Structure 1
C-alpha cells in the first residue's frame, strides 16, 4: 500500500510566518528610495551641517578670544599704506626725559606703518651726539621691515610749545601722527586709526577725546567749560581730540605756523599749555567738521606725563579755551558722538 504526500504552497493555503515575510521583504526590497524617504534624509543632512557649522563658529570664536582672556596680545603685521604717500610720520613731542623717549622711539620703530620718526626737541640744549647715535641704532634694530623708518631730530631755536607744530622739511607722508613721548599706542591700534584717517584725511583722528559746552553767558559774553574724559563719558559727546595722540594732515603744520594769528602764538608761548587746543581750533576752522575719536587702549609710561608738567588742570584748561576763542574771534569746534571701532576687537557686530 502506497502513501501519497501532497506538498501545498503557501499561496495556495494562505499560510505565512514572520520569518517568511522578512525573507520575502528582503527579496522584494527596491534599491531606489521613495521621494518621501529622500526628503527625510536631505532634511537630516541639512540639520547636521547646520549643527556642524555652529559648532565650528563657536570654536573659532572661543579660540580667537582665548588669547585676550589669557593676556596674550597677537601682533598682526600691518598692511595699510597710503595710495599716494605710503605710511605715516610719527612726530614725538619730548621734554627732558631721555629714558622715556628711548622707549617711545623703540616702540614706534616697530610699527609697520611708520615711514619716519621725528622728535620735536624744544629744550634749550641740543640733544647729545650719544643720544642721537643711540636712537638711530634703536630704530634700525626695532624696525621689522626692509625699509627702515627715517629718523631725525627737529631742533627748535627757542623753547616754546608752538615749536612742536613747526613744518617739517622733506616729509614723505601726508599723515602726521602727533604723540607725546610718554604715550604708547599699540601698533595694530595705531594702524587701524591710520585707516580711519585715510577715509577722512582733512580732519583729526585721535585717541584722547575732549569736549566743550556753554556754561553761562553774561553781558552778551559767553563762557565755555572744557570737559575731560569723564565729561565725555558722561555726556556721550566730544568736540576735540588732543594732539598728544592724533593723526592730522601735514598741511595743518603750515596753517598753525603761518596762518594762525601772532597774538595766539604769543599767548601759547606764555601759557605753555594750550597748543593742543589751538590745533583743534585750526583744524575745526578749516574743515567745519568734528574730529573722529578712535576707540583703543593707550598706555602712559614714566612717572608723570607731559600734560601734568604743563598744568593741565581744569581751571587752566578753561582759561585756555576761553582765551583762545576770544583771540580767534569765533568758536569753530563741532560736537559729535561718532566713535570709530574696529569690529575685530568687539564682542558683538
Structure 2
C-alpha cells in the first residue's frame, strides 16, 4: 500500500517540479537596458499590464551604498503590492565582476523578483527610461538611501490608485516667485508644495515615456540641461506631469519613512551614506532654482501647480495623556470606531 501511495504522488511531484522550473528567477543576473527604450513596439500592450501592483525602480550609483540598496530592495520584495524590483545601476566605473559578486552574496528576495539593469551612462534621465520589464500601470521611483516600511508603502499605493494621474510622494518641495528679483526660486513652504522628490514617488508608468520620448525638441533640450546640471530630473518630471493634468502632486504622510541621506541623521556610520548624495553640494538649492528658471524659459510657461494638505491614515486627538508612567498621545490609549480610515489633514 505504501508503494501505491508513493506512485500516486509521483505525477503531482513531477508537475510541481515543472511549475517551479517555469517560474521566473527571484534574482536575475546583470542585464543591459533595452537598446531602443522609446520604440513603442518593445513595450507591453496597455491591456496586458497590471493595475493591482506596482514596479519599484531603485537608482544606484555609489558602491558605498550598495549594502544599503540591497537591503532596501529585499525589504520591498516582501510587499504584496510589488510586482517586481529593478535596480538601475548607473555607475559605469563599477566593474561587472565586483557588482555581480556583491549581488550574489548579499541580495535576497522575499517574494517579488529583483533584477539589476546596468545603465549605459550615469545620466539622471536614465531612471525614467521606459522598459519592457515593467508590467504594471504604476511605478515607484526611489533613491538608494530611502526606505518606506511595508505598511506605509501599501497605503501610498492605495492613495495613488484613487489619483492615478497624479504623482504621489512623501518629500515635498516648492517653486516660488522671488518678487524682489523677479525670478523663480526653489524652496520649501510650510503650507503648500508643487514638487515631490524622487527620494520616493509613485506615478503612472506612461509618464516614463512622456519624459524620455515625448515633448519633441523642447524636452530634448530640457533633458540635456538635466545632464549638464547633473540635477533636477525630479523637478522636470513634476513639470511634465503638471503640464499634462494641470494639477499638483499628492503628499502622503509617512510615519515610518527612513532617510539615511538626511543631514539631520546623527547615528554613527551614516556619514558616508550622506556625503555621496547630490543634495549635499553647497550650491544644491541654487542649482535647482536655475533648473526651474530654465525649464520655465524653454517651455514658455509655468505648469507647476500648488497642492495644500496631505493624506494621512487616521486622525485622532493629539493631546498628551499619562500611560504607564509616560506621556503619550491620548489617542494611543483609546480605540476609535472608524480607526484606519483614510482622512485628509491640512498641514
Cα-to-partner distance string for 1:118-160 (whole Å, 9 max, x where unaligned): 1112111466356446546766x451xxxx3122123221221
2:91 matches 1:100? no
Give the TM-score normalised by structure 1: 0.67
- Give the one of 261, 268, 290 matched to 2:248: 290
Measured after TM superposition, the shift of residue 198 of structure 1 is 0.2
2:290 matches 1:319? yes
Query: C-alpha separation between the residues in 2 aligned to 1:264 and 1:130?
Result: 34
- Corresponding residue for residue 299 of structure 1: 258
Provide the secondary structure at the position in 2 that maps to 1:87.
strand
Measured after TM superposition, the shift of residue 208 of structure 1 is 0.5
2:45 matches 1:90? no
- Corresponding residue for residue 34 of structure 2: none
Residues 136 and 151 of structure 1 are in contact (CA less than 8 Å); yes or no, is this contact kept in structure 2?
no
Query: C-alpha separation between the residues in 1 aligned to 2:70 and 2:113?
Result: 16
Q: Taking structure 1 as reference, are residues 343 and 237 closer, same or farther at Cα in structure 2, changes over 3 Å only?
A: same
2:114 matches 1:151? yes
Query: C-alpha separation between the residues in 1 aligned to 2:85 and 2:306?
Result: 31
Within-5 A mapping of 1:111-260: 111-125=79-93, 128-129=96-97, 131-132=99-100, 135=103, 141-143=108-110, 148-216=111-179, 222-228=182-188, 232-233=189-190, 236-260=191-215
Provide the secondary structure at the position in 2 that maps to 1:270.
helix
- Corresponding residue for residue 277 of structure 1: 235
Measured after TM superposition, the shift of residue 164 of structure 1 is 1.0
**What runs of 5+ residues in structure 2 fail to find an aligned partner?**
1-48, 261-269, 319-330, 332-338, 340-347
Within-5 A mapping of 1:12-31: none
2:70 matches 1:110? no
Query: C-alpha separation between the residues in 1 aligned to 2:137 and 2:100?
Result: 25
Aligned Cα root-mean-square deviation (Å): 2.5
Provide the secondary structure at the position in 2 that maps to 1:117.
strand
Structure of greater Rg: 1
**What runs of 5+ residues in structure 1 fail to find an aligned partner?**
1-82
Residues 180 and 306 of structure 1 are in contact (CA less than 8 Å); yes or no, is this contact kept in structure 2?
no
Provide the secondary structure at the position in 1 that maps to 2:209.
helix
Residues 117 and 149 of structure 1 are in contact (CA less than 8 Å); yes or no, is this contact kept in structure 2?
yes
Query: C-alpha separation between the residues in 1 aligned to 2:178 and 2:73?
Result: 41
Residues 73 and 114 of structure 2 are in contact (CA less than 8 Å); yes or no, is this contact kept in structure 1?
no
Query: C-alpha separation between the residues in 1 aligned to 2:89 and 2:140?
Result: 16
Aligned residues: 254
Give the TM-score normalised by structure 2: 0.67
Query: C-alpha separation between the residues in 2 aligned to 1:196 and 1:137?
Result: 36
Residues 77 and 114 of structure 2 are in contact (CA less than 8 Å); yes or no, is this contact kept in structure 1?
no
Residues 89 and 176 of structure 1 are in contact (CA less than 8 Å); yes or no, is this contact kept in structure 2?
yes
Query: C-alpha separation between the residues in 1 aligned to 2:129 and 2:70?
Result: 22
Moved more, 92-101 or 310-319: 310-319
Measured after TM superposition, the shift of residue 345 of structure 1 is 8.0
Greater share of residues in helix: 1
Cα-to-partner distance string for 1:194-235 (whole Å, 9 max, x where unaligned): 0000001111000001112211277xxx5112113xxx22xx
Greater share of residues in strand: 2
Q: Taking structure 1 as reference, are residues 277 and 311 closer, same or farther at Cα in structure 2, changes over 3 Å only?
A: farther
Q: Taking structure 1 as reference, are residues 104 and 345 closer, same or farther at Cα in structure 2, changes over 3 Å only?
A: farther
- Corresponding residue for residue 266 of structure 1: 224
Q: Taking structure 1 as reference, are residues 252 and 99 closer, same or farther at Cα in structure 2, changes over 3 Å only?
A: same
Provide the secondary structure at the position in 2 that maps to 1:152.
strand
- Corresponding residue for residue 336 of structure 1: 307
Query: C-alpha separation between the residues in 2 aligned to 1:112 and 1:167?
Result: 23
Residues 208 and 241 of structure 1 are in contact (CA less than 8 Å); yes or no, is this contact kept in structure 2?
yes
